[in-house]
Amino acid sequence: MDLRNARVWVVGASSGIGAEVAREMVRRGARVAISARRKSELEEVASGGMLVVPLDVTDHVAVQAAAQQVSRELGGIDLLVAAAGYWQQTTPGELDLDLFTRHVQVNLMGMAASISAVLPDMRARGKGTVVGVASVAGYRGIPGAEAYGATKAAQINLLEALRAGLRGSGVRVQTVCPGFVETPMTESNQFPMPFMIPADRAARTIVEGIETGKAEIIFPWRMALLMKVARLLPVRLWTLLAEPRGERAS
């Protein structure tokens, strides 16, 4: 994909991966609109060079309205990057329904709402790209990430199904599965985060993957390899390996 003059909408761009992807897109010549809840942070990211359209991804009417505004002001949307995300660690072996619901609303329904807002026009034009930012945390169940991991697994499944369903339509679907990235979302984590990389490096990897048309963009490679292998482990073995050390779920 040639990003020069491409009309790009990045949802979830006030910080972290989304913000750095938006900046990288601009550096490569794209015309970029960015959305998230915090207008002041969006304006800081934009630095006068991007269209700022604040929205809350849990408000599906607002997402539709934002998509219409972006399309109107940019003259259409060639590429959606759905990067809005929420993370809060949970207590292993417990299930906080309110916290679980919040993860679903932002991560899963937010992505679905963003895609739903652009997909009809892309299908009508027979052209467009949808990029969804999931996570390697969706590959296996990890204690303490019950809510986050479940939504990431659902995102991976959603994007995979759309990719197959849209085959031949002219609309490309790409799945991004990062490992640990230095962002405001991860800075408060109190557990080991192997192979962590800076957000700007993650953004370059994502944008290069978009340009080359990769169906899956997974990084860093060591974390990707580790989690790909984890997918192949028998359920009983994974349960033993993933069990929190020093404590057992009651």
**Contact between residue 94 and residue 22 where contact means Cβ atoms under 8 Å apart:** no
Q: What would the mean pLDDT of 66-90 be, rounded to a whole number?
A: 95
Helix, strand, coil shares of the chain, percent, nearest 5, are 50, 15, 35
The catalytically annotated residue of 9, 148, 180, 219 is 148
**Contact between residue 39 and residue 54 where contact means Cβ atoms under 8 Å apart:** yes
Q: Give the start-to-end residue ranges of the domains of the chain.
A: 7-242
| Mean pLDDT score of the chain | 90
Residues 6+ apart with CB under 8 A from 149: 135, 137, 138, 140, 141, 142
DSSP-derived letter for residue 64 is: H
Round to whole Å and give the CA distance between 181 and 199: 6
Query: Given a cut of 60, is residue 225 above it in pLDDT?
Result: yes
Bridge partners of 128, per DSSP, are: 171
Q: Give residue-wise pLDDT tens across range 125-164.
A: 999 999 999 998 899 888 888 999 999 999 999 999 999 9
Q: Which two tokens stand for residue 213?
A: 């048309």
86 is catalytic: no
So what's the pLDDT on residue 248? 45
Q: Which CATH class is domain 7-242?
A: alpha beta
pLDDT band at 249 (very low <50, low <70, confident <90, very high): very low
How far out from the chain centre does Cα 182 lie?
15
Of residues 196 and 146, the one with the higher pLDDT is 146
pTM of the model: 0.89
Q: Give residue-wise pLDDT tens across range 8-51.
A: 999 999 988 999 999 999 999 999 999 999 999 999 999 999 99
Q: Which two tokens stand for residue 79?
A: 């590429």
